[in-house]
Amino acid sequence: VIGRLIGGTITNLGIAGNSTINGYESVGGLVGKNQNSTISGSFSNATVNGVSKVGGLVGYNYYVNSATSITDSYATGDVSSNSGTYIGGLVGYNQGGTLTRTYALGTVTGTVKGGLVGYNSGTINNSLYNSASTGTVTGGTAKTLTELKSLATYTAAGWTNISDVGASGKTWRIYEGNTSPLLTSYLTALSGTISSTPISKVYDGNNQVDGSINWTGTSTNNFLLGDTKITLSSANVGTY
């Protein structure tokens, strides 16, 4: 985690896992204070606790004499303060900064709070947050968690760099109904072999069968969503 970034650039940096970040003022899941700097393609899954200017990604995002921006980034962790102010799901205090294609999923608690930002005097474009965290501070568009797992939500918000299919070349990938958008720069293709061959098939009009695959580097299928389907060269009955 970076305490203060001045005149810098962060690209493709993430805080994964179940970490917790505690502080007093200007506390963020990735950066505490972001001044005259740009952040893109980044995320934080951390839970963040503080008193003032507390955000899931950045605590204090401010412009002094050059552009300060957060683009194509997100935060998923809860953000909390027992009695503090300027608490936001993504940014605690956004002073003159620009947010574009961002979202926040976590719940936000505090006396002056917002689902996306806890204070805003900057520009917010194409950004969304968990409607369960709506507070006294406006900024971004509130959506339910179900809506935040739907491609249509983001295309309606003006995201043109998102897809629900693999190898699309887009910045974002969403697994419809299962995940919020993920940054493709962090996704790795799986490879594996069919665990038992040959495969016997009874005719049912399609060329897919249930099957088990031994994934390279993965001992179980715990990280996979849905059921494994194996596509055969033909729909005909037989062995393959």
The string of DSSP codes covering 22-33 is: E-SEEEESSEEE
Q: What is the mean pLDDT of residues 209-215?
A: 72
Residue 23 clears pLDDT 60, i.e. is over it: yes
Lowest mean pLDDT among 93-97, 189-193, 195-199, 225-229: 225-229
Burial class (CB in 10 A: 0-12, 13-18, 19+), 157: middle
Looking only at Cα atoms, what is the longest distance across the chain?
A: 71
Residue of higher predicted confidence among 78 and 194: 78
DSSP 85-135: EEEESSEEEEEB-EEEEEEE-S-EESSEEESSBSSBSSEEES-EEEGGG--
**Cis (ω within 30 of 0) for the bond into 181?**
no
Q: Which one, of 77, 74, 69, 28, lies nearest residue 172 by Cα? A: 74
Q: What is the pLDDT of residues 92-133, one digit of tens each?
A: 999 999 999 999 999 999 999 999 999 999 999 999 999 998
Of 27-36, 52-61, 149-158, 219-228, the least confident: 219-228
For residue 13, pLDDT over 70 is answered with: yes
- Tell me what the mean pLDDT of segment 130-145 comes to: 91
In this predicted structure, the answer to whether residue 137 has a pLDDT above a threshold of 90 is no
Question: What are 14's two structure tokens?
Answer: 């993430």
Amino acid at 122: G
Distance (Å, whole) CA 66 – CA 70: 14
228-237 tens-digit pLDDT: 677 777 777 7
Spatial separation of the C-alpha atoms in residues 165 and 156, rounded to whole Å: 18
pTM for this model (two decimals) = 0.85
For the CA atoms of 192, 197, 198, 199, the dihedral, rounded to the nearest 10 degrees, stands at: -70
pLDDT of residue 221: 55
The SS3 of residue 191 is coil
- In terms of Cβ atoms closer than 10 Å to its own Cβ (0-12, 13-18, 19+), residue 237 is exposed
Q: In this predicted structure, what is the pLDDT of residue 217?
A: 65
DSSP secondary-structure letter at 185?
G
Average pLDDT over residues 210-232: 66
Distances in Å between the Cα of 142 and the Cα atoms of 80, 133, 152, 179, 185 are 18, 8, 14, 17, 26
The confidence band for 200, taking pLDDT boundaries of 50, 70 and 90, is confident
Q: Rounded to an integer, what distance in angstroms lies between the CA atom of residue 161 and that of residue 43?
A: 17
Distance of CA 133 to the CA centre of its chain: 16
